[in-house]
C-alpha cells in the first residue's frame, strides 16, 4: 500500500489534525502507516513507532512532514513494554497478530482513550492473521474494555483478497 492510500484510509474529521499531538504506531513495521499518520498530523507532533524488529524500524525516518518519529523496539504482548501517554494509538494490521487482544487493549487504555485501527474483514485465521478481527469483533472487544464509541471509517479492497477496513474507537472524556 502506498502512503497516500494509507493516509486516506485513516483520515477522519473526528480527529483534530491541525493541532500538535503525540501518537503511538504499534506494530509499525517499515513505517507505511507511520508516514501516513505523519502526513495527517500537524508539524511539531510526535509519533512513537513501535515494533519488535529493530532492523525494520531503521527504514523509518526520524522526521517526516515536520513530525518527529521516535522508534521503540518492543514486543506488544510483553507486559514490560512501557509506552508514553499519547493522544492516540494506531494499530494497522497489528491486532490480528495478538493472541490476548482484550488484555492488550486494557493495557493501552492506560496511555490513551483513542485508537485508529486498520484490519482485514476476515473471520478465518491464517499464518498472516492468526487472530482475525472482523469489524463486528473489534466493536465487541472495545465494548468489553469500556470504549463507548467505535466507528468504521473506510473500506478498501486488500491486495491479498477480501476487504480492509479502518475504524476509530474512543472513550468519552466523561466516562472511565
pLDDT digits (tens, 9 = 90+) for 20-34: 999 999 999 999 999
Q: What's the predicted TM-score (pTM) here?
A: 0.93
pLDDT surpassing 90 at residue 11: yes
**Per-residue pLDDT tens over the stretch 138-162:** 999 999 999 989 999 999 988 777 8
pLDDT surpassing 50 at residue 175: no
Burial grade of 32 (CB within 10 A; 0-12, 13-18, 19 or more):
buried
Domain ranges across the chain: 3-170
Q: Write down the architecture of domain 3-170 according to CATH.
A: 3-Layer(aba) Sandwich (3.40)
Q: Which three cell numbers stand for residue 86?
A: 499519547
Amino acid at each position: 500500500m502506498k502512503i497516500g492510500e494509507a493516509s486516506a484510509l485513516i483520515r477522519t474529521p473526528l480527529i483534530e489534525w491541525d493541532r500538535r499531538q503525540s501518537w503511538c504506531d504499534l506494530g509499525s513495521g517499515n513505517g507505511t502507516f507511520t508516514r501516513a499518520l505523519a502526513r495527517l498530523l500537524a508539524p511539531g507532533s510526535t509519533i512513537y513507532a513501535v515494533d519488535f524488529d529493530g532492523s525494520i524500524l531503521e527504514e523509518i525516518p526520524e522526521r517526516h512532514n515536520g513530525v518527529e518519529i521516535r522508534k521503540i523496539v518492543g514486543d506488544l504482548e510483553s507486559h514490560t513494554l512501557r509506552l508514553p501517554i499519547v493522544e492516540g494509538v494506531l494499530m494497522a494490521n497489528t491486532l490480528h497478530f495478538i493472541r490476548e487482544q482484550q488484555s492488550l487493549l486494557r493495557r493501552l487504555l492506560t496511555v490513551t482513550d483513542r485508537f485508529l485501527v486498520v484490519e482485514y474483514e476476515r473471520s478465518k485465521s491464517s499464518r498472516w492473521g492468526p487472530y482475525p478481527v472482523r469489524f463486528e469483533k473489534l466493536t465487541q472487544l472495545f465494548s468489553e474494555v469500556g470504549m463507548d464509541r467505535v466507528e468504521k471509517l473506510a473500506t478498501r479492497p486488500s491486495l491479498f483478497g477480501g476487504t480492509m477496513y479502518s475504524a476509530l474507537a474512543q472513550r468519552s472524556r466523561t466516562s472511565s
